[in-house]
Amino acid sequence: MSTTEENEVPALDPSDDDDGEPTIPQVKPREASAPLALPSPWVPGTRFSTYQIESRLAVGGMAEVWRAKINGLQGFEKRIVIKTMLTHLHDRPELADMFINEASLTARISHPNVVDVLDFGQLEGRYFIAMEYVSGLTLRLAHRRMRAAGGRLPLLMVLHVLSDVCEALQHVHELGDADGPLGLIHRDLSPENVIISTSGTAKLLDFGAARATARTEPGRLFVGKYRYAAPERILGRGEDRRSDIYSAGVVLYECLVGRRPFDGSDKEVIRAATSAPFCDPLALEPATPATVAAVVRKATAQRPADRFESARELGAALAVCLAELGASSKERDVTLALSALLDPETDTPAPRRSAGGEPEAVPETIELSYSTTSNIALNEREILEASGPLPCPTPAPDDDTRKVSLPLPPEAFAPPLSDAEGPAVDLFDQGIRLRAEGRFEEALAAWEGALALAPDNRLYDSHVRRLRAQLSVLRGSGKGDDSHRG
């Protein structure tokens, strides 16, 4: 996410990239430049209350994201994510308010297609948000990986994922409290902010740009990404739920065509986005089914009144497309696509290194798919590696920890939303960890357990079959499994 003054055409003229990274505007610099982010005092093994830090997933201009776990009674463990605001930004009230606002708004949301927020607090002088851990890939990485292989994401997968996004948006848009509707909108919908779980379910994340339009006045800053933002938002002419629908239409267009509808410098994107009557995938991808193309055109109409009235209406249109195309279950269609996506034969693009140059005047909000050195976060990299050759076992990390007191929210122990999906995902994630440690037999048992709970999951099935074959070769070579070695 990026911010810039409303109605201001940015002076910065960066060349676009393939990954849709946030637009970085040029704003009036502060008298004294902000210090560079210091290394986090947290290290793997750090403990506070019942939280234990495992590893850093990603870091960005405003925050860093850590994978952690909750340790409960009788061996209870639950993996979570902890997002922390960088300490040197705490003296920037507008940024601290954005971080607090994100925690406050997302804590009200409970939906299977939205990443849950479990806790918010302050520790060692820095704000943190504890969130649900999702084992999966962002839509951005999935799209980029398929493009690197010379293809497109399967149409059925894309329609299922966008249907899940519509479910999430509808819930967000209808959210209210005792005083009435919040008028909540996401304002930063993009492929980076959609993560696809190994169960086949897509979840919306990163509400750092969200705004409760019924409770707050429009700010002086534009937040989001120009390449996905609705024309009325770019021009400062208001925003409502239909602005999110426009962004969903742009994401759908990009997945169908392989590129965003508006590219170039920020000025060029703004000019094109505010003048095009709609985005038509048929112009570049004539093979797009007519009903799907019609959905994209309506979702991305220049005038909000010409768009779908609600995310539910957009989702219903996508459901018609899925039925016309003979879609199977979401679990089977999406996990089949993920299985092909993670096939070791699929070429993986080289990680993009951060560009040097001038520091950002206004830091961007962290997105789970970003890090300082690569657009592939650690959790995504682990899933990719779990589809490749068997790794060498690595020693367990040292358990040097520091303890502080922090209350644990009862929501952290809430049961999974689905009877089978939650345990299956947990077992598959456990298998990824065991495999990385060289405990291959135990990893296979975990994956077989996940597949038994979710027999239609093609991703679990492909990993079970691949690991069985790898172990067969390993046993034939006379090399043992390190599963039971001390």
So which residues are the catalytic ones? 188
Helices (H) and strands (E) in the chain, counts: 13, 15
Q: What does the alpha-carbon distance between residue 88 and residue 416 come to, in Å, rounded to a whole number?
A: 36
Output phi, psi for 209, to 5 deg. Answer: -100, 0
- At 140, is the secondary structure helix, strand, or coil? helix
Asked if 467 and 205 count as a contact pair (C-beta separation under 8 A), the reply is no
Task: Pick the closest to residue 197 from 378, 425, 375 (CA basis).
Answer: 425
Pairing of strands 136-138, 180-181: unpaired
- One-letter amino acid of 218: P
Q: Which residues contact 291 (CB under 8 A, 6 or more apart)?
A: 320, 321, 324
C-alpha separations of 452 from 19, 46, 464 in Å: 36, 35, 11
- What is the edge-to-edge ordering of all strands in the sheet holding 63-71? 47-48, 51-59, 63-71, 77-85, 126-132, 117-123
